[in-house]
């Protein structure tokens, strides 16, 4: 666990092992916000979203003062009873920290289809409240993990009008990653002053260039959520420094998103797929994701096998218009492998294999001359991915 996260004024955190997880690891966390804080959020696009997601969407309209997070149980696919337990967990902690249940946003991550037990909340509410501290964000970054091998956290600052604005974020995610909103879970706090509407606009833009551009396995979780909370403690208002705040927030979210990919279940490669030249950015993104989700491409990446035919085939089956074989150029890092739809005259298997053996790989796919371009970040597909997910509930 790292201790290099910067504290954000007014934010207090705690995390304990409550027994939800079987291995006695940290699994129940609380983040509290001071009065006059504002919170924005984005959630999973999965139609069958979990009970805590439904409840958090409702509570977001209130004066949000706390985030309650458990790992080890997703409370998804649990029907009306699951929704009741999500609300009761908020009620339990509302009593412990003198808030209304509607002021608490609940978040859960873990196994789908199991009802969230209430005993860990009832038995640990007072303890979790007593341990609240401005220094515990690192513990929360550990407490939200499931199959992750490492915690994911990052801080940024910028100066404006002689004052310092701080942003700190944590995230979890390793498998079931193709967010379509954010990530498995991510929580970002800042001491800037802002309205919820302003924060929502900033968060949406940041998410679209970071968490919405990563994929490990193409599966969109039932529980994905990302929040941005502003405590209004820095003396700086977002309206006066919107451009620089957005730039720094974008940097922070992309840092967290890349850490999720690097910690992808069983991953041995960090892969950027850049697609360009089609009529629209949406078409470029569709091609990039088609390549990123191809099991044949991903297994070739794991084997360091420069089987470029798999990449070309994936491009050709993307659901887009305007693909012409003569316009296709494909590169592995700086190495041209396909030029004008044919193997590059200078390409060799040895050179291709050397590029595929690298831990960081960029696959660049040019499909025309239009000034459109989209990148997604993904992983290879290893033996360990199957093992991790086959044994997940054991």
Q: Are 271 and 378 in contact, with CB atoms under 8 Å apart?
A: yes
Of 159 and 45, the one with more pLDDT: 159
What percentage of the chain has pLDDT greater than the value 70? 93
pLDDT digits (tens, 9 = 90+) for 112-151: 899 999 999 999 999 999 999 999 999 999 999 987 778 8
pLDDT digits (tens, 9 = 90+) for 301-336: 999 999 999 999 999 999 999 999 999 999 999 999
Q: Is 50 exceeded by the pLDDT of residue 177?
A: no
Q: Is 50 exceeded by the pLDDT of residue 183?
A: no
0.95 exceeded by pTM: no
Nearest alpha-carbon partner for 37 in 15, 14, 10:
10
Q: Are strands 329-332 and 335-339 parallel, antiparallel or unpaired?
A: antiparallel
Mean pLDDT value of segment 93-100: 97
Q: Are 20 and 48 in contact, with CB atoms under 8 Å apart?
A: no
What is residue 53's DSSP assignment?
H
Catalytic one of 183, 190, 220, 372? 183
Helix (H), strand (E) at residue 271: strand 270-276
Whether 183 is a known active-site residue: answer yes
pLDDT digits (tens, 9 = 90+) for 232-241: 999 999 999 9
- Within a 10 A sphere around the Cβ of 369, how many other Cβ atoms? 9
Computed on alpha carbons and rounded to an integer, the radius of gyration of the chain in Å comes to 22
Helix (H), strand (E) at residue 252: helix 242-262
- Strongest mean pLDDT among 175-184, 234-243, 379-388: 234-243
- Within a 10 A sphere around the Cβ of 344, how many other Cβ atoms? 18
Specify which residues 154 forms β-bridges with: 169
- 3-state DSSP call for residue 65? coil
């Amino acid at each position: 666990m790292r201790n290099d996260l910067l504290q954000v004024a007014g934010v207090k955190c705690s995390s304990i092992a409550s027994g939800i997880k079987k291995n006695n690891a940290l699994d129940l966390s609380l983040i509290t916000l001071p009065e006059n804080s504002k919170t924005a959020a984005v959630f999973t696009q999965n139609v069958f979203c979990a009970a805590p997601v439904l409840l958090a969407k409702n509570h977001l309209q209130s004066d949000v003062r706390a985030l309650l997070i458990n790992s080890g149980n997703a409370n998804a696919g649990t029907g009306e009873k699951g929704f009741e337990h999500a609300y009761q967990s908020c009620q339990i902690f509302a009593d412990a920290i003198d808030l209304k249940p509607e002021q608490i946003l609940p978040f859960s991550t873990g196994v789908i289809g199991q009802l969230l037990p209430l005993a860990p909340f009832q038995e640990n509410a007072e303890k979790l409240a007593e341990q609240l501290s401005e220094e515990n964000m690192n513990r929360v970054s550990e407490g939200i993990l499931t199959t992750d091998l490492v915690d994911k956290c990052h801080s940024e600052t910028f100066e404006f009008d002689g004052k310092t604005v701080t942003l700190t974020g944590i995230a979890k995610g390793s498998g079931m990653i193709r967010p379509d909103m954010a990530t498995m879970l991510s929580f970002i706090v800042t001491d800037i002053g802002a309205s919820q509407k302003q924060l929502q606009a900033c968060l949406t833009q940041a998410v679209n260039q970071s968490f919405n551009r990563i994929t490990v396995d193409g599966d969109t979780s039932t529980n994905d959520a990302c929040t941005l909370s502003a405590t209004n403690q820095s003396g700086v208002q977002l309206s006066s420094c919107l451009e620089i705040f957005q730039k720094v927030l974008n940097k922070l979210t992309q840092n967290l998103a890349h850490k999720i990919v690097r910690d992808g279940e069983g991953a041995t490669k960090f892969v950027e797929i850049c697609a360009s030249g089609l009529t629209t950015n949406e078409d470029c993104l569709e091609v990039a994701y088609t390549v990123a989700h191809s099991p044949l491409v991903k297994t070739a990446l794991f084997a360091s096998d420069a089987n470029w035919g798999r990449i070309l085939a994936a491009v050709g089956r993307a659901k887009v218009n305007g693909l012409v074989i003569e316009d296709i150029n494909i590169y592995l890092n700086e190495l041209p492998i396909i030029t004008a739809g044919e193997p590059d005259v200078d390409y060799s298997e040895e050179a291709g294999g050397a590029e595929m053996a690298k831990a960081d790989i960029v696959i660049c796919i040019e499909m025309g001359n239009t000034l459109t371009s989209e990148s997604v970040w993904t992983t290879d597909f290893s033996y360990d991915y199957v093992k991790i997910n086959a044994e997940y509930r054991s």
